[in-house]
């Protein structure tokens, strides 16, 4: 049994679905899991609809900050690992309302660590040795790179530039401190920008797909030359499984897709594939819908991940290229219009108008 927090969100739900899918080399006999999620705006049980009736998936509605609840779940289910996906994760939202990020990413992680530490300390010596706490984090804790700087390595200094990345940096430091001070057997992963199925349509790729099909503007911050490394979410899930299986206790592993691309190039790629798979009724290209909007505050110019360590030590590398992963992603959204319609509520539309200043 494992405990997954934040398992109804984008990355978390993909991980849960992959974990409980048909057995593979990484998980020949998938263990059951407890899925704890607070179901905030981006947590969506519809992501997990395919697991309805599956006794291996136990969903619990609750927060990592609820120490009594987490303590009870640990005592009742006796998991051999905790994987922490639970986080507020959108930079733009952190700019408009940083308090939620402080409460979830810092205070929530602290409460989770306290509950897990208490549970772990009471295990017998063998189970204690095999227990793991895997903390899922982001490359944004490292700050911003100049165009010619080397990619982020695990040894890079933390230089977070947004309330979101600062809150994640703080949570990373807490996890490290609980290992150094108490001996808690932790692992940390810092990933680059994920994309793929079940991505809430406020982030760049799902937003562009959604707006393009709806005939709405495709908002591009500033000049659109902000560079990101793109990682297909199912590759990220396989990396987490591998780190959980064989990662060295106390170590950090960067997880990237080796796909650095400017945001504008990503949008042009999306438009070109949509032109092919779902042409506009008027025959015009989707790129005609591109609209430039005022750049966000403190926008980091470039992120890039050096994922050599995880490949060298654990033999992991991504399967998907950006070209294969982005086509799969677009196809998924075309085939799941109902899912998109259900998550794009009135509150979501108000948020998009507030953030981008266009009728998104």
Which residues form the catalytic set? 139-140, 164
A 10 A CB-CB count for 197 gives 21
Q: Which two tokens stand for residue 18?
A: 């992959």
Chain Cα centroid distance, residue 349: 22
Q: Kindly give the interhelix angle for 163-182 and 109-121, rounded to the nearest 10 degrees.
A: 20
Strands 260-262 and 227-232: antiparallel
Residue 293: φ, ψ to 5°: -125, 165
* Strand residues in 49-180 grouped as ranges (E): 57-61, 81-84, 132-138
Q: Which two tokens stand for residue 296?
A: 């966000």
| DSSP, residue by residue, 3-14 | EEESTTSHHHHH
Q: Which two tokens stand for residue 315?
A: 């033999």
Which residues are CB-contacts of 177 (< 8 A; sequence separation ≥ 6)? Answer: none
Which residues are CB-contacts of 319 (< 8 A; sequence separation ≥ 6)? Answer: 232, 234, 235, 238
Rounded CA separation 89/86 (Å): 9
Burial class (CB in 10 A: 0-12, 13-18, 19+), 323: exposed
Q: Which 3-state string (H, E, C) describes 32-68? A: CEEEEECCCCCCCHHHHHHHCCCCCEEEEECCCCCHH
Q: Which residues pair with 83 in a beta bridge?
A: 4, 134
**Nearest C-alpha neighbor of 151 from the set 29, 309, 40:** 309
Rounded CA separation 13/44 (Å): 9
């Amino acid at each position: 049994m494992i405990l997954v927090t934040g398992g109804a969100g984008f990355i978390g739900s993909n991980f849960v679905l992959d974990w409980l899918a048909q057995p593979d080399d990484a998980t020949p006999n998938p263990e059951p899991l407890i899925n704890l999620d607070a179901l905030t705006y981006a947590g969506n049980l519809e992501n997990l609809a395919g697991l309805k009736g599956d006794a291996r998936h136990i969903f619990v509605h609750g927060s990592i900050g609820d120490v009594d609840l987490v303590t009870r779940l640990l005592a009742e289910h006796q998991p051999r690992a905790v994987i922490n996906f639970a986080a507020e994760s959108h930079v733009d939202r952190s700019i408009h309302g940083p308090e939620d990020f402080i409460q979830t990413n810092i205070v929530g992680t602290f409460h989770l660590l306290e509950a897990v530490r208490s549970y772990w300390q009471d295990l017998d010596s063998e189970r204690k040795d095999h227990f793991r706490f895997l903390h899922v984090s982001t490359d944004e804790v490292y700050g911003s790179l100049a165009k010619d700087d080397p990619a982020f390595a695990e040894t890079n200094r933390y230089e977070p530039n947004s309330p979101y990345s600062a809150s994640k940096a703080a949570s990373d430091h807490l996890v490290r401190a609980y290992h150094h001070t108490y001996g808690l057997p932790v692992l940390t992963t810092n990933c680059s920008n994920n994309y793929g199925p079940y991505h809430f349509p406020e982030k760049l790729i799902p937003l562009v797909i959604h707006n393009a099909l709806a005939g709405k503007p495709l908002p591009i911050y500033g000049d659109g030359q902000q560079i990101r490394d793109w990682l297909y979410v199912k590759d990220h899930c396989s990396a987490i499984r591998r780190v959980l299986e064989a990662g060295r206790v106390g170590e950090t592993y960067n997880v990237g897709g080796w796909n650095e691309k400017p945001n504008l190039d990503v949008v042009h790629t999306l438009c070109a594939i949509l032109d092919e798979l779902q042409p506009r009724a008027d025959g015009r290209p989707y790129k005609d819908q591109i609209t430039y909007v005022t750049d966000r505050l403190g926008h980091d110019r470039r992120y890039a991940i050096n994922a050599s360590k995880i490949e060298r030590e654990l033999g992991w590398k991504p399967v998907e290229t950006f070209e294969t992963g982005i086509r799969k992603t677009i196809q998924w959204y075309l085939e799941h219009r109902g899912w998109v319609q259900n998550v794009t509520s009135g509150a979501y539309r108000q948020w998009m108008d507030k953030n981008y200043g266009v009728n998104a």
